[in-house]
Chain A
Amino acid sequence: MSNHKIEPNQWIDLYSDYLFNYTISRVSDREKAQDLVQDTFLAGLKSMKNFKGEASERTWLISILKRKIIDHYRKSNSKKGKAEVRINYNDSESEGDWLEERVADPFDKTAQDSLENNELGDAIHKCLDKLPKKQAKVFKMKTILEYETEVICNDLNITASNLWVIIHRARTGMADCLKENWF
């Protein structure tokens, strides 16, 4: 059963992006999300003994992260003045009109949409994991973080044409992988 080992040295490289993406779709504040991911790693480190190896490391870390997110909302709710989320009514007459709250927000994403997006995000992460490390790294920097070509080249010490070859291979790999898993 316990064939999952714990390897904290690799956590940040392997899981930080996944955890961050998970957090940001729930907290929607970059800095806060970053802090939560950081907390999760540290908490995971502390309770490493409790890791039984029944689930994969990532699942285990996600379960810690979920707790952290809940704690975050609890904390921000208990602060004075933010005790409850109130919808601002335009005039006092409509105050307490509960029906208005029930009307669906047309600007809100439908549940179906966000569900599909979550699945797509998972598929993308799965495919990124399958790519060779260097390809994945360059592809992430270019496509998801949207860095300039020059910045990446300087950062990783590669030439521009080198970069484009890597990007090309990564894109082909991603397209093939996603074709199987998603399209």
Chain B
Amino acid sequence: MSKKNKIFIPCEEANHVCDKNQYKEASLLEMIKLNIHLIYCRVCRKYTANNTKLTKALKKSEVKHLDTSAKNNMKKDFDKALKELNN
């Protein structure tokens, strides 16, 4: 962080903190700054509300995916079968 520690942050940074917070990775200081920003910035308030909604929806849906290594393994096997078929 090269910037000085300001209490008032621009919208860009506020959005960034908000995104981080969706994954519980924002620090306490960042959260305080975000909340101060939200007091006077309507646009960011809306963004934050939407963002939280999105996180809740994703959690509620319990969408589950394959992890990358499993997918890669699957790809390997599949490619092998594909080659055999073509030969």
Give A contacts to B, CB under 8 Å.
8-9, 11-12, 16-17, 20-21, 24-25, 34, 37-38, 41-42, 45-46, 117, 120-121, 124-125, 140-145, 149, 155, 164, 167-168, 171, 174-175, 178-179, 182-183
Contact = CB atoms under 8 A, between A and B. Distances in A.
B19 A121 contact: no
Given A17-B66, A21-B64, A34-B66, A175 B78 contact: no
Where chain A touches its partner, the secondary structure class is: helix
Contacts of B20: 164
A157 to B, nearest CB: 14
B71 A16 contact: yes
Nearest to A41: B78
Given A12-B71, A45-B81, A45-B82, A37 B63 contact: no
B19 to A, nearest CB: 5
Contacts of B23: 142-143, 149
A17, A25, A144, A178: most-surrounded residue (chain B CB, <10 A): A144
Given A145-B67, A164-B20, A171 B51 contact: yes
B61 A121 contact: yes
Contact of A38 (B57, B63, B64, B74): B74
